[in-house]
Amino acid sequence: MKFPSKLLDKLQERQLSSSLRSLSAQTDLIDFSSNDYLGFSKSEQLFDLVMNKLKTSQAQNGSTGSRLLSGNFSFHEALESKLAEFFHTEGALLFNSGYDANIGLLASVPQREDRVFYDEFSHASIRDGIRLSHAKAFGFRHNDLEDLQQKITSTEREGEIYVIVEAVYSMDGDMAPLKELAHLSEIAGFKLIVDEAHSTGVYGEKGQGMIVEQELEPYVFARIHTFGKALGCHGAAVTGDHSLIQYLVNFSRPFIYTTAMPLHTAVTIQFAIEMLSDTKERKILQHNITYFKEMIAHFKLQDIFINSASPIQSAVIASPSRVKEVTTKLKEQNFDAKPILSPTVPLGQERIRFCVHSYNTYDEIQEILFLLSTFV
């Protein structure tokens, strides 16, 4: 069967622009690329806790069906109650991934007559969910509240207004002005939605995220907490009041029409949440972020790095081929840092995204930045 010519043309366009993606298996390189900020994915303690629990529970290999059919277990509901308590909210609903959670929330909640305003740097899952909702959608300049307010006031006032931002942005590593957004939500009358994918586990007294850290819970309509980043496992949850959770159970298609989260995943989330009470790894992570930034200054790399206080530190090189060349050289020196290319980031904003972890050493941080300074 002949492959469609239009699709071949699109692949060729990617090839010619040096932005064609391909898969490569994980290796034993020094990790500056994964989202495993606290090292939980490699934790023997977490593994042992999960395995011991499954020996005494309903340890099916799979959940057997959707939550509304045969796949709902008491453990799911107990975990959701625990998550609601942990994140200081009325309710929580589990989804199989952060992508599913964003699609499930944003495709079902905003209605056709509503307006949704999203930061221009929002993740693809946010944009996809908004598009599926059929609500009127408007992007606003990154972290620009004046632009947001102007667009809210200049568009037709009809239906509900939703504003969605990310607590920590996945490509730049910078943070949304959450306190200012909370204040503006009361003035402008919008419902604030915050994706905490890259802040869950990293910020807050126990890793509850930036909304809890800044005590903004009453101002937020919904949060998306993803467990595949700092918690080192899989899945996600939408948190909000009881009415929101009931609505999602009835109208969120990614929740209704998919096989429920297996018990192994749910148990892993439970113990990962409990392990966050030990602040040691989070403190080490923050020290490593500080040292990484000190080494950026030491090697005079400030001009290429985006200012960020999060584990995500991005060096903009603005050339797909050059970004690939530099990351290949780093790999040859046993370091894993990934090139980020268009269309994930705009043309001219190609970069190397360095992810800092609690298990990176000072020597590793110093060496990778020294190497970068010799390659760029």
- What are the residue numbers of the active site? 35, 123, 166, 170, 195, 198, 229
The values of phi and psi at residue 278, to 5°, are -85, 115
Angle between helices 320-332 and 362-375 (to 10 degrees): 130
First to last CA, the chain: 45
163 within 8 A of 183, measured Cβ to Cβ: no
DSSP for 318-360, written as a single string = --HHHHHHHHHHHHHTTEE-EEE-TTTS-TT--EEEEE--TT-
Contact assessment for residue 136 and residue 116, using Cβ atoms and an 8 Å cutoff: yes
Q: Is 214 left (phi over 0), alpha (psi -120 to 50) or beta?
A: alpha
Residue type, 204: G
Q: Are 201 and 38 in contact (CB under 8 A)?
A: yes
Query: Got the DSSP string for 273-324?
Result: HHHTT--HHHHHHHHHHHHHHHHHHHTT-TTTBPP-SSSEEEEE---HHHHH
3-state SS, residue 17: coil
3 state SS of 182: helix
Closest by CA position to 187, among listed 214, 215, 163? 163
| Distant-in-sequence, close-in-space partners of 198: CB < 8 Å, separation ≥ 6 | 35, 166, 167, 168, 169, 170, 173, 226, 229, 230, 310, 311, 312
